[in-house]
Amino acid sequence: MNMSKRELKRILYVEDEIDIQTVAKLALETIGGFTVEVCDTGRKALAVVPKFKPDLILLDVMMPDMDGPTTFNALRSQPASADIPVIFMTAKAQQNEITEYKRIGAIDVIPKPFDPMTLAQIVCDIWTHHGNQT
Amino acid sequence: MATRPENIREQLTALRQEYIRRLPERLGEIEAEWADLLREDWDAEKLRIMHRHAHSLVGSGATFGFPPVSDSARLVEQTLKELSEKPRPTDHTIENKLESLLMELRKAVIQASRELPPLLLDEDTYNDKPPSPTGKARMVYLVEDDENQAEDMALQLQHFGYEVRIFTTLKTLREALKATAPDAIIMDILMPDGDGLSALAEISRDIAPNVPTLVVSILRDFELRLRAVRAGTKAYLQKPVDIGELVDKLDHLTGVKQADPYRVLIIDDSSVMTEYYALILRHAGMLTRTCHDATQVMGALEDFNVDLILTDVYMSGCDGFELAAVLRQQDAYMSVPIVFLSTETDLDKQLMALGTGADEFLTKPITPHQLVSAVTSRAQRARLLRELMLHDSLTGLLNHTTVKERLVKELAQALRRRVPVSLAMIDIDHFKSINDRFGHLAGDRVIKSLAHLLQQRLRQSDVIGRYGGEEFMTLLYDTTGQQAKVLMDKLRDDFAELRHQASEKLFRATFSCGIAAVSGKIKASDLTDLADRALYQAKHKGRNQVVLVNS
């Protein structure tokens, strides 16, 4: 699939912390102009994906119940979300961790805390870069 | 990219402030969970919940730019994880470690809260607006679809001098607003015929931009609070509504001269705890003073006009019980409420505390909301009682004895702070003939309207008292004689403009005023004599004028 041909419009953000959800939604919607949906658990994300049909999923690593990698695997195993690119969001962005997430299939990792003023740009850059690679 | 950066910056700032505002509550939650764990059975599920709450502060603290909050919450989180991996340890090493980590977290939260602009504190300035017609009730539109709740709230607000009109739909509200604007709108945002917040946004934009709006709701989610802020509302109160809080907000928003904020002295060995409680109470609009050594309490009480004392029970030097007993032996503090805060759950000990003169026993940890409401209700009642003792029943101003006492205190304070003060004695001209010609009721109304005018136009820091029958005394703090003269002359002009009613007739009244300005040490009685002499001169020179003398 050639991502650069596709425009990034719809983003699903999976994050259990409501304050961060609010900031991210604000940043991605008002600055980036994206349509954003947020979920606070991996389980809800799995249910939302078929209806919302996101172009991209931002996935928090540390969540209660289902953590980021578990959610990622579950997303990959259901047809509706198997091909949607995923970016991990993590506070412990150490190199070995980043490598590991990329190895299991994430297109990139964004360290937390993110700067709300530049988050949309970072997401765009990753999207473009990823599109050019594949 | 869609929006102007200034706009999103504003929104982010609003979010950040809302976040800081809620931080103490979230910390309180974590502390309560910890206390619960220590007291009750060690429970893996409880540990897990506490871990999650700590974790959420790690992420959000960093996102909102408070690395110390995030970092200290991370240490708490890690220690909790350690604890959850094995059965409860028999020694207390890890538990003690966690206690001190929580202390660090508390410090970080206090630090973060310093960034918050002060809430709802009156600017202490002279009010130059002409007074509203004397005695007119302020009108509030109450928008609430549950008629029982609405009736109940209306009834309570009426006790506080508000006239209330109830609307059960947004449609009828809009129509009424087009006819007359009230002094404030209170709205339950869950309305059957539309979204309350959108309606409020529209009202404050197009229909009645100057009318303050307050939201009451059973919902407590952040998104709604944010929307409420964006809709221009001035307050968001959680249901069931604390009527005292609502009235305070209304008084503030409708420009009623508010009573001084409550003054609370907090005594605790631990400076972090005193700071933490002080922070919570200050955010609720109170003034606080802290004291870390119970034996120093007399010094801390000096010139503070304390409304309530909040004290820990177990302290080195002097415990809370002894402290209460010492205070109760002094006339000045006999009626000040003393509230104990302690981890003590032993009922006998609590009863003993009440026996020594404590008014209430609160068990730690306490949520910010509980603390604020316990302190408010106690302080409110104590004030009310004091009000009855210290105030003149006709005007509500300080009575003769009290105003004289206050004069002594204020002079001492002014001297210490090296600020000028002016004492003004005001006497209504020809008052006897007003009584004779129009009757005592009319005379009383003249006295009340002058009292009202003084209250509206002078500052909260000024002392205003009814000194005698038709004589008033005001002490203007940090005001030079010349400033006082200009102010009093303006008041004199405005007072002379007022029309008073006596059955069928309308009449006017004037006053004379003597001011004594002081910028050094002077005895209160000498200052009063000076002002009296200036007043006499004003009368002698033909009344309806202000005479200034310097000490």
pLDDT score at A37? 93
Span B137-170, pLDDT tens digits? 689 999 998 888 888 888 777 766 688 999 999 9
**Residue B243 scores a pLDDT above 80:** no
pLDDT score at B366? 77
Class of the domain covering A9-120? alpha beta
**Residue B329 scores a pLDDT above 60:** yes
Q: What is the ipTM of this complex?
A: 0.75
Query: Closest Cα of chain A to B213: distance in Å?
Result: 24
Tokens coding B527:
């200052």
DSSP state of B340: E
List all residues of chain A from 45 to 104 with a beta carbon under 8 Å from chain B: 62, 64, 91
**Residues in a beta bridge with B195:** B190
pLDDT average, residue stretch B231-252? 78
Please state, rounded to an integer, the average pLDDT across all residues of chain B: 83
Tokens coding B514:
């003597």
Whether the CB-CB separation of A84 and A54 falls below 8 Å is answered with yes
Closest to B1 (Cβ–Cβ): which among A33, A112, A116?
A33
Inter-axis angle of helices B44-63 and A18-26, to 10 degrees?
30
pLDDT average, residue stretch B415-421? 88
Question: Do B8 and A120 lie within an 8 Å CB cutoff?
Answer: no
Closest to B60 (Cβ–Cβ): which among A19, A31, A32?
A19
For residue B235, what are the CA distances in angstroms to B120, B185, B225, B465?
10, 11, 9, 33
The percentage of residues in chain B with a pLDDT greater than 70, rounded to a whole number, is 90
DSSP state of A5: G
Separation between Cα atoms, residue B531 and residue B248, nearest integer Å: 36
pLDDT score at A89? 93
Separation between Cα atoms, residue B381 and residue B337, nearest integer Å: 9
3-state secondary structure of B353: helix
Q: Does B8 touch chain A (CB under 8 A)?
A: yes
Q: Which residue of A has its CA nearest to B7?
A: A30
Task: Delineate the domains of chain B, giving CATH numbers in brackets.
Answer: 5-113 (1.20.120), 138-253 (3.40.50.2300), 263-388 (3.40.50.2300), 400-550 (3.30.70.270)
Span B358-368, pLDDT tens digits? 778 887 777 77
Q: Does A31 touch chain B (CB under 8 A)?
A: yes
Q: Does B11 touch chain A (CB under 8 A)?
A: yes
**Residue B452 scores a pLDDT above 70:** yes
**Residue B414 scores a pLDDT above 70:** yes
Q: Which residue of A has its CA nearest to B4?
A: A31
Separation between Cα atoms, residue B284 and residue B292, nearest integer Å: 22
Residues of chain A falling short of pLDDT 50: 1-4
**Residue B136 scores a pLDDT above 60:** no
Question: Do A114 and B48 lie within an 8 Å CB cutoff?
Answer: no
Question: Do B63 and A18 lie within an 8 Å CB cutoff?
Answer: no
B113-127, B219-233, B480-494: segment of lowest average pLDDT: B113-127
pLDDT average, residue stretch B241-268? 75
Q: Which residue of A has its CA nearest to B62?
A: A113
3-state helix, strand, coil in chain A (%, to 5): 50, 20, 35
Q: Does B4 touch chain A (CB under 8 A)?
A: no
Strand A10-14 versus strand A56-60 pairing type = parallel
3-state secondary structure of A107: coil
Q: Give the residue from A9, A22, A26 with the most B CB atoms within 10 Å of its CB, the best one to mutate.
A: A22
Phi, psi dihedral angles at B313 (to 5 degrees):
-85, -50
pLDDT score at B2? 46
Nearest to B172 by CA among B201, B153, B145: B145
Domain positions in chain A: 9-120
Separation between Cα atoms, residue B346 and residue B87, nearest integer Å: 28
Element holding B405 (H helix, E strand): helix B400-417
Nearest to B166 by CA among B200, B201, B140, B202: B140
Strand B500-502 versus strand B505-507 pairing type = antiparallel
Nearest to B478 by CA among B496, B461, B502: B461
Query: Closest Cα of chain B to A10: distance in Å?
Result: 15
**Residue B293 scores a pLDDT above 70:** yes
Q: How far is CA B160 from the centre of its chain?
A: 16
